[in-house]
Amino acid sequence: MMDPDYLPFHANPSKPEFKAPAGAVDAHCHVFGPADKFPYHPKRKYTPCDAPKEKLFALRDYLGFERNVIVQASCHGTDNAALIDALESAGELARGVAVVDPAITVEELEAMDKAGVRAVRFNFVKRLVDTTPKEVFLSVAEKIKSLGWHIVVYFEAPDLEDLTPFLNQLDTTIVVDHMGRPDVAKGVDHPDFQRFIDLMKNNDKIWTKVSCPERLTLTPPDYSDVVPFAKKLVELFPDRVLWGTDWPHPNMKSHTPDDGKLVDVIPMIAPTEELQQKLLVDNPMRLYWER
């Protein structure tokens, strides 16, 4: 049973006004269950509503997107079966980000690669996962290197200072989820967000997803307070940004995000066709499809 205080995804999202360029990629979304086929992990911190691949692919088409990058979420732990199943169904239309146990073998990694996995995710968000020692993450980083995979990291702004030496130690491309989760009440010029900008300025292996206004906003469902943060990153790092819906929005309690309205934020953060092409097509294709 899904957690009672957690909202399910929007049943009837609006049709976006913004028309995504041909080949657009939703580079952050999940599949959950269905639980009777792909049970949730016994040590999960939340139980989501089922969000099966068919619903994700239907949403992709409805929103005018062509491809997905599906990210393993904590509720499935290191059991990537639902993710792999979705990737195998989607073929060239999806790539994946897995969460793996450090004991995983090279053969298992190669099988995941064949299914379309191109990255591993390191989750540092304390409400979602138990702490993993840095050495464990470093051993996984070492294992995935020869496959040409990269690393997706999820943390919250107060943890950035402590994590910076670790991030700079990794020698693959790193993608930071949701802009490192800034506190938007503090504003773009606050030292906390400047620290994130400096991280990207000082390390050109670091990319970020300018996603997740539904979680960062203080004024749901109006996302305008998040726009300056995402816009700034797109402006400064047009070749190292990705965008995603974050569907089915696990752990949402404030409101049910309308995915069409989330798509309509894109022209506010990437105001030119050139920036939209990079954000939605060129960057994700380079990172997840070309090798």
Closer residue to ligand 0GY in complex, CB, 31/63: 31
Instruction: Choose the catalytic residue: 246, 258, 259, 264.
Output: 246
Pair of tokens at residue 80: 């990537």
- Any alpha helices (H) in the chain, and if so which ranges? 53-63, 81-90, 106-115, 134-145, 160-169, 191-202, 213-216, 227-236, 259-263, 266-269, 273-277, 283-284
Pair of tokens at residue 221: 């469902």
Is residue 259 close enough to count as binding ligand 0GY by CB under 6 A? no
Quick check: 205 and 234 in contact, CB under 8 A?
Answer: no
> Judged by CB under 6 A, which of 26, 246, 259, 282 binds ligand 0GY?
246
Pair of tokens at residue 153: 């990291």
Binding segment (CB under 6 A) for ligand 0GY, from list 67-75, 100-108, 140-148, 259-267 = 67-75
> Judged by CB under 6 A, which of 123, 173, 217, 277 binds ligand 0GY?
123
| 50 is a catalytic site residue | no
Closer residue to ligand 0GY in complex, CB, 23/102: 102
Burial of 171 (0-12, 13-18, 19+ CB in 10 A): exposed
Q: What is the helix (H) or strand (E) element at residue 287, kind and residue range?
A: none
Binding segment (CB under 6 A) for ligand 0GY, from list 53-61, 86-94, 244-252, 277-285 = 244-252
DSSP state letter for 131: -
Task: Give the per-residue contact string, 260-289, with ligand 0GY (x = CB under 6 A; - = no).
Answer: ------------------------------
Residues that bind ligand 0GY (CB under 6 A): 30, 73-75, 123, 128, 154, 177, 215, 246, 250-251
Catalytic residues: 246
